[in-house]
């Protein structure tokens, strides 16, 4: 890779990691979109997993006091089985279809609080078990599942630090299994070591900067920004990544 490309993606890793640490989701999706402009699609998802693992480990450690363990252990139960299925589907399922499904699901979830007839306003704890399985599967195909997880995890009993920290730990688990899976099928991470050696520290630094900014964000403002970010990501997944890929 050219030096300019490495510098560009390093800056992107820092900026998107800081964004995720503040808003909870969105940075990973923005980063993978930028990486697709420069790297081969088959290499983007596994390489992106390395960078996101570094950022999520940092974010989880900085917010370790706020991790929602009742959610985390349920999420982790079936995730490995989902990874196995995702690896099997990796070459066969069109990414555009998956992106359409994710975008539509996020929009529906964001709309639930405004639909008065619906009694369930937040995801019950048991639902995080199948959510972990689906995450493991889609994470291998699409590469970033933060919009779905971000929409699901918003609960009345969680503060913004708990939302961001728990989402970060989801990323740790998901990316660990993603990296393991791609290693087992023969992907060579060593080929991209100069890029990863630059992006990983940048992502760690971005997560630390974002953690400082998070403590200064008002709770109500945070939730508004968080949902706006998810809505924009959903529209991007549907219109830009999904429909445009199908009809062009």
Q: How many domains does the chain have?
A: 1
Integer Cα distance of 132 and 83 in angstroms: 10
In tens digits, what is the pLDDT along the chain, a chain of 248 residues? 677 888 888 998 888 888 776 665 667 777 777 777 787 767 877 888 888 888 788 878 878 888 888 888 898 889 889 888 887 876 666 667 766 766 776 676 667 556 544 444 567 788 889 888 988 887 777 666 766 677 677 666 777 778 878 888 888 888 888 888 888 877 788 888 888 899 899 988 887 777 776 666 665 766 677 677 767 777 877 887 777 767 76
Token representation of residue 92: 């066969």
pLDDT score for 222: 66
Model pTM score: 0.68
Token representation of residue 153: 């995890």
pLDDT score for 181: 83
* CA–centroid distance for 164 within its chain: 11
Token representation of residue 141: 């195909």
Terminal-to-terminal C-alpha distance of the chain: 29
Supply the range of the domain harboring residue 207. Answer: 3-246
pLDDT score for 78: 92
Q: Whose CA is closest to 55, among 204, 157, 192, 164?
A: 204
């Amino acid at each position: 890779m050219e030096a300019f490309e490495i510098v560009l993606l390093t800056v992107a890793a820092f900026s998107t990691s800081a964004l995720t640490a503040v808003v909870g989701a969105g940075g990973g999706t923005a980063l993978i979109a930028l990486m697709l402009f420069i790297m081969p699609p088959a290499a983007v998802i596994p390489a992106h997993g390395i960078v996101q693992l570094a950022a999520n480990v940092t974010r989880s450690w900085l917010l370790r006091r706020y991790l929602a363990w009742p959610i985390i252990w349920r999420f982790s139960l079936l995730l490995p089985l989902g990874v196995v299925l995702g690896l099997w589907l990796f070459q066969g399922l069109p990414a555009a279809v998956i992106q359409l499904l994710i975008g539509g699901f996020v929009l529906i979830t964001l709309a639930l609080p405004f639909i008065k007839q619906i009694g369930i306003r937040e995801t019950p704890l048991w639902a995080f078990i199948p959510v972990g399985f689906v995450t493991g599967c889609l994470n291998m195909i699409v590469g970033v599942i933060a919009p779905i997880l971000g929409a699901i995890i918003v609960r009345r009993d969680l503060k913004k630090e708990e939302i961001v920290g728990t989402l970060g730990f989801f990323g740790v688990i998901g990316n660990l299994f993603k990296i393991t899976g791609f290693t087992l099928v023969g992907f060579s991470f060593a080929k991209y070591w100069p890029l990863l050696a630059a992006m990983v520290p940048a992502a760690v630094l971005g997560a630390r900067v974002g953690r400082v900014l998070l403590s200064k964000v008002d709770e109500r403002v945070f939730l508004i920004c968080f949902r706006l970010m998810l809505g924009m990501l959903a529209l991007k997944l549907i219109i830009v990544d999904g429909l445009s890929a199908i009809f062009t």
